[in-house]
Amino acid sequence: MSQCTDPKSKKATPTTMHMLSAHVAGVLQYLSASPLLLLAVLPLISLLLVSVVLAAIKLAMSRRIRARPQDGNPAAPYRSVDSPELKTMMFEECDTIDKLWSRAVGLYATKKCLGTRELLSEEDEVQPNGKVFKKVILGEYKWQTYTDVDRRIVSLGQGLAALGQKPRNNVLMLAETRADWMVTAQTCFKFNYPLVTIYATLGEEAIAHGINESEATHVFTNAELLPKIKNVAGKIPKVQYIIYMDALNNKPAATEGFPAGIQILSMAQVEEMGTRAENANRPIQPPVPDDLAVIMYTSGSTGLPKGVMIAHRNLIGGMAGQCDRIPGLGPKDTYIGYLPLAHVLELSAEISCLAFGTPIGYSSPLTLSDQSSKIKRGSKGDASVLRPTLMAAVPVIMDRIYKTVMDKVNEGGKWKKAMFNVAYGYKLKLVENGSDTPLLNRSLFKPVRSILGGKIRMMLSGGAPLSATTQRFMNVCFCCPVLQGYGLTETCGAGTVTEVDDLTTGRVGAPLICNEIKLVDWDEGGYTTEDKPYPRGEIVLGGPNITMGYYKNPQQTAEDFREEGGNRWFYTGDIGEFHPDGCLKIIDRKKDLVKLQAGEYVSLGKVEAALKNNSLVDNICVYASSDQHYAIALVVPNHKHLKNLSAKMELKTDQWEELCNDPDLEKEVLKVLHKVAKEAKLERFEIPQKLRLCSESWTPDTGLVTDAFKLKRKNLQSHYSQDIARLYGS
């Protein structure tokens, strides 16, 4: 990883400035021969000068120091220069989430709060291959105001209390992202019911484990997921009530067939119960900052999910840090919520939006844009109707948007493609130099921008590393900053986020004002804080946002959370390097390092990142066994590009399965990847020597990737064990 230096950051501003002012001076000299002409052109020239100066200022700002180690020692914790003292709250006095919410209700009472689109119609579309896809036509967003939502929160909380729910007893949430999810969460915060979240896409074993371990008696879910819970009903003896949110397609919920001890109620029934005179006036016991707000089960890359215990104080601290990097957040913004709320990134983003009066319109990955798979052709996707200004995304969604745009451009014909490429290249240079391109933004890039509604002013990526190429592409095409953050559930999603004025890509930014970050030597991997040109090591976070540990798992908690120097630290297992301006770059992961037979280390993640760059590759898992002398790869090929390659090779078949099993095609893909690997300057031993084309795609419900689409290496390994044995020739 020695070529991680960013050559662009070395370029001096004065050179560019100099060149341009010399240019302007030359023109001036020429014009002075004709004073009239000069008079006419003067405004133009001053405009040019102003833009040059502005660009230079922007560039200088981009290169300013953003964080420092406390005493100049690279092994000491780095803190943001904006906040030598760690910041722990957004608003004075709001030290719990329910106070944050009450403040917002007071300020924004009649403003839009949560929005959901109505379903106009649903139909089945039969594909040529016989598969049936559900397509929907959706209407306008229907909004609940802050006051509406607040009323529901009180009713729901009192209804739960009437059903025997007690403060400090867990309430479980297994549901997909939607307005009712947030209403329930805010209810739990207000009534001090710790909210246990589990990803809706987890397998039944993991779900049963989470529900049972949490000992929750009241479980929230959406009607569509009731069958999934029914299948595990025998393994969750403590559950007494299952409260479901109505199906979005208004179909009746399947409430039959549950064991006698479990009562099934709709959310509306519970809210109605809370408004009855005998229930409505019970005293509410609000939480204190150290009370548990959330127990968030994370789908770890290995084993059963672990519950991370997050106190009110932790979430408040993390959000104070994150919101500081979103300048201007307020009632003028609109946020599109579609990522899983059981993910800390989405949960803290949405709670923050509500705290600042920003309305949230709900969506889903399948209905996001006009081109999304569940949207009926010719009707509008959620982004086109909502026209959000802020959006969070995980890299896999950004990669999908990137590929959609590129495919569209490629299909548009030679002329269009050439024009796009020229404009893109031109704008790229200007953007990297800090110059603005208002005309290009409003002409050529307008149609691209309109894919997401046309008003996006900032995108935030988190959850997994975003490639520098994709980050820059989104930045140029959508004409807005694309921030990249780094954080974990264990740190409340806090850690780092790049700043709006940072023009570089591929880094995750400086520590947030709510936490500090230090690097710790990892000898086995050969990373130390003495490394040149940059200090490197395991990333370790400290601050008020460090959570209380893993639920009912003191052993793992003691391993990952440590008290050092009077502070609490979380050991992430990720490897990073600090650049001179105090920005962090993620370069490796401890678990991803495999030692080959001959003693060389292969960083699986690094090799994957390099090879994924090719359009033939939709997903890839590199595997290396310590008793072998080479690495191999499992590749999910891109349909369009693999078919294109097979057509060129004049293969007889067109069947996907047969294509993936074709040994000649396998060799051809390997050849392409070797070329990519050489261009990316991978070492010989890092390049996979054999590969398997995998015909199925890896989605969270296959259990092969996590909800954030991180590879689950163990599961992939056992799923493809026969292929791995074949590739290793045994």
Identity of the residue, 192 or 505, whose beta carbon is nearer to ligand NAG in the bound complex: 505
The reply to whether 217 sits near ligand NAG by the rule CB under 6 A is no
Residues in contact with ligand NAG, shown as a per-residue x/- string from 66 to 105 under the rule CB under 6 A: ----------------------x-----------------
The dihedrals phi and psi of 646, each to the nearest 5 degrees, come to -70, -35
Indicate which single residue of 546, 621, 704, 724 sits in contact with ligand NAG (rule: CB under 6 A): 546
3-class DSSP state of 586: strand
The reply to whether 249 sits near ligand NAG by the rule CB under 6 A is no
Q: Please report the sign of the dihedral spanned by the C-alpha atoms of residue 109, residue 112, residue 115, residue 119.
A: positive
- Cβ 516 to ligand NAG, closest distance in Å? 11
What span, in angstroms and rounded, lies between the C-alpha atoms of 179 and 245? 10
Q: Are 688 and 633 in contact (CB under 8 A)?
A: yes
- Only segment of 22-30, 114-122, 157-165, 469-477 that touches ligand NAG (CB under 6 A): 469-477
The reply to whether 11 sits near ligand NAG by the rule CB under 6 A is yes
- Cβ 448 to ligand NAG, closest distance in Å? 11
- Cβ 479 to ligand NAG, closest distance in Å? 3
Give, as one character, the DSSP assignment of residue 702. G
| Helices of type H across 76-203 | 97-108, 146-162, 179-191
Two structure tokens written together for 688: 């996979």
Residues, the chain: 730
Q: Classify strands 360-362 and 335-337 as parallel, antiparallel or unpaired.
A: parallel
The reply to whether 367 sits near ligand NAG by the rule CB under 6 A is no
Give, as one character, the DSSP assignment of residue 509. B
- Cβ 433 to ligand NAG, closest distance in Å? 4
In the numeric block, the tokens 């040109």 are attached to 533
3-class DSSP state of 696: coil
What span, in angstroms and rounded, lies between the C-alpha atoms of 169 and 291? 11
- Only segment of 31-39, 66-74, 427-435, 510-518 that touches ligand NAG (CB under 6 A): 427-435
- Region 436-465 residues binding ligand NAG, contact defined as CB under 6 A: 436-438, 441
CA-to-CA dists, residue 691 to 12, 522, 658, 673, angstroms: 44, 31, 16, 10
3-class DSSP state of 504: coil
The reply to whether 23 sits near ligand NAG by the rule CB under 6 A is no
Of 162, 191, 187, which is closest to residue 173 (Cα–Cα)?
A: 187
The reply to whether 603 sits near ligand NAG by the rule CB under 6 A is no
Per DSSP, the residues of 329-368 read -STT--EEE-S-TTSHHHHHHHHHHHHTT--EEE--TTTS
- Cβ 136 to ligand NAG, closest distance in Å? 29
Identity of the residue, 12 or 42, whose beta carbon is nearer to ligand NAG in the bound complex: 12
| Helices of type H across 604-654 | 604-612, 639-648
What span, in angstroms and rounded, lies between the C-alpha atoms of 462 and 497? 9
Indicate which single residue of 13, 102, 301, 410 sits in contact with ligand NAG (rule: CB under 6 A): 410
- Cβ 321 to ligand NAG, closest distance in Å? 12
The reply to whether 610 sits near ligand NAG by the rule CB under 6 A is yes
The reply to whether 476 sits near ligand NAG by the rule CB under 6 A is yes
- Only segment of 166-174, 189-197, 543-551, 664-672 that touches ligand NAG (CB under 6 A): 543-551
- Only segment of 155-163, 270-278, 373-381, 475-483 that touches ligand NAG (CB under 6 A): 475-483
Q: Using CB under 6 A, list all residues that contact ligand NAG.
A: 11, 16, 88, 208-209, 212, 235, 313, 410, 429-431, 433, 435-438, 441, 469, 475-476, 479, 544, 546, 548, 568, 609-610, 613, 640-641, 644, 680
